[in-house]
Amino acid sequence: MAKEDILNALADAVVEGDDDIAEEFAQKALDEEVDAYEAIVDGLAKGMKIISDMYEKGEAFVPSLLLAADAMYAGMDILIPYINADTSAEPRNVIIGTVEGDVHDIGKNLVKTMMTAAGFNMIDLGCDVPLDKFAEVAKEKRATGISMSTLMTTIMGGMETVIEQLQEEGIRDSLVVMIGGAPVSRDFADSIGADGTALDASTAVETMTSLTSELPADSWSESSIAESKMKYKEVLAQKGTREKVDVGLITAEAVIAEFDSVVPKLNETMTKIERFSASFEDKKVDRLPIATLACGVSRKFVPCSYKEYSTSAEKYAESAFTGIKYFNMDTFVRLTDLCVDAADFGATIRYPEEDTPAAIGHLEDYEKLEVPEIKEGTRAYNLIQGNKLATEKAHSIDAPMTALIEGPMVALTQIMGATRVLSDLRTNPDVVLKALDKTTTYVEEIMKGMFEEAQPDNLCMVTLWTNNVILSADEYMKSEGQIMQNRIAPLYKQYNKPTVVHNCSDAPHWDLINKWDTKYYSYTFYPDEVNKGSKDHKHLISTYGKDTMFAGEVSPILFLDNSPAGIEKMKADTVTLQESVLTALKENGMQSKYAIATGCEVPPGAPCDSITAQTYTVAEKGPEIYKNIIG
């Protein structure tokens, strides 16, 4: 068989995601004395580049990439032992992993695959990686780079900790540090001292290649390490002093102390529940409602630990009440974490004292999943009781309460692992759909418990997988989409409740909004990913606003900056956003159907005064802005 035919067959096997064919032609390449290195680069890696290009053009989706990666590695396992030493470049070791507290690994795996195809020797630490592990392994392997990722705003600070550990070890300048994940921006990367970030796996490869090419030849020499230690010694000393302070608690105490002298002077003319209800129906209001997702950070008003906030119904309820009161919210969307269902199905969950709970041990067998009973001791029971207490407390200050639960697909991916579920959805869909039916049944039971016992004003469902970067609209509709349409949305209607959805993905299937009669949609806007489908308030109001109230737009990372300049910027940006939203509403024949909010949760360690900079500005400046634009 001709060499060119073998190389093309290897590339085709990767594109098709066929492990068996990849293994067959990898062996054939050896049998026909095709150079193993050439078979990898011009065969397997070429196929990975083809499928990656298709993904970037929207012609392929994440399941195809995951299967392609499996095929590439299957072929590489056969070929790598036969790479000739004289054709193998000096290993460029790159440490990759998802930071501690985050078990999402799809993006990390895609970057790993693309960097492997580009010739980097990837050392995968997996997900939920202890922060000190990055520096430890980088030092051991004399790495040329580290690639860290997270999808969770709540644990982004861990990336800065890793960089500080590298500085402390004297090896920060010995390697390149890249960070990634949907909430990560160029500004955030710069602020923590990372070398770069990228919007997708292909760009990550290009960036890592470029940055590592600039490393000096002696970057790992003893003299370079000693010089680096001295360079960062003073910087770390200053940070060490500053970080002993609990900025969340200190600013919470300051907000409480100033509350009685500030909030009463705002002269609100509507109660929170009147304003939110009127806005929901696009009736005239005194100002736009505010619903910043300042969830875990609100525990600082109690105060209590994050573990108490996520596991104690009483602490949860008190955090909701104090958050509504002191942040002056018009409604509170109460998020603790996204592994409530996973815990009840038997997955292993870690509960840090001051961070978001995470599923760290997935189940193995889909067919052994059994729908739990909601009873005392389960996390679902605790969540229902917490929202019952929180609703009572919210109503005592005339505020509506919005509870939040996981959608069926979010629950299943937390139970079994997202990478596995998305791959199996393509290769073994019947098994996945049967398991999805079980998580749906549990979600339905939780919904009933919320509607019948907790009785929040609204119930928000997280549907992260309706994402045009992850699954096509057709694939999504064949899985969770049809469940949302045929089971979840009808249950909302049965209890005479509006369908409320939260989706902080970068490219939701916007046209599916109306399929389940969504009345309130909490979204995230990613300015750098407009070309992939991220939409701002102007587009959403003009296209879907007549039927659906939107809330989102503001990046939660902005709330980490409570410097005087940061506070003033937050106030100015809040005024600008209100003006833009109200103008868009007026241009489309509406007057109030939008809430000022963040698209993702404000990090739980954020300062509270940066949040009141937004919420108090809406209350203070909002009425005049509303009157000037709407009348």
Q: Where are the domains of the chain?
A: 1-85, 89-244, 247-629
Report the pLDDT value the prediction gives residue 157, as an integer from 0 to 100: 85
CA dist list (Å): 550 to 283, 492, 607: 15, 18, 26
CB 49 within 8 A of CB 117: yes
DSSP class of 170: T
What are φ and ψ of residue 429, in 5° steps? -65, -35
- List pLDDT tens digits, range 315-324: 999 999 999 9
Weakest mean pLDDT among 148-152, 390-394, 594-598: 148-152
- List pLDDT tens digits, range 165-189: 999 999 999 999 999 987 888 889 9
Task: Name the band, by pLDDT with cuts 50, 70 and 90, for residue 233.
Answer: confident
Q: How far apart are CA 124 and CA 95, in angstroms?
A: 6
**Structure-token pair, residue 25:** 């032609």
Q: What is the CATH number of domain 89-244?
A: 3.40.50.280
Please say whether the structural domain 247-629 has been given the CATH code 3.50.50.60.
Answer: no
CA dist list (Å): 109 to 19, 95, 186, 370: 17, 12, 21, 29
Report the pLDDT value the prediction gives residue 244, as an integer from 0 to 100: 65
CB 39 within 8 A of CB 26: yes
CB 263 within 8 A of CB 617: no
> With 60 as the cut, is the pLDDT of residue 63 above it?
yes
Strands 145-149 vs 121-124: parallel, antiparallel or unpaired: unpaired
Rounded (10°) CA dihedral 277, 557, 242, 568 = -70
Q: How far apart are CA 277 and CA 113, in angstroms?
A: 48
pTM: 0.89
Q: What is the CATH number of domain 1-85?
A: 1.10.1240.10
Place of tokens 């060119």: 4
User: For the residues 487-501, what does the mean pLDDT come to?
Assistant: 97
Mean pLDDT of the chain: 93
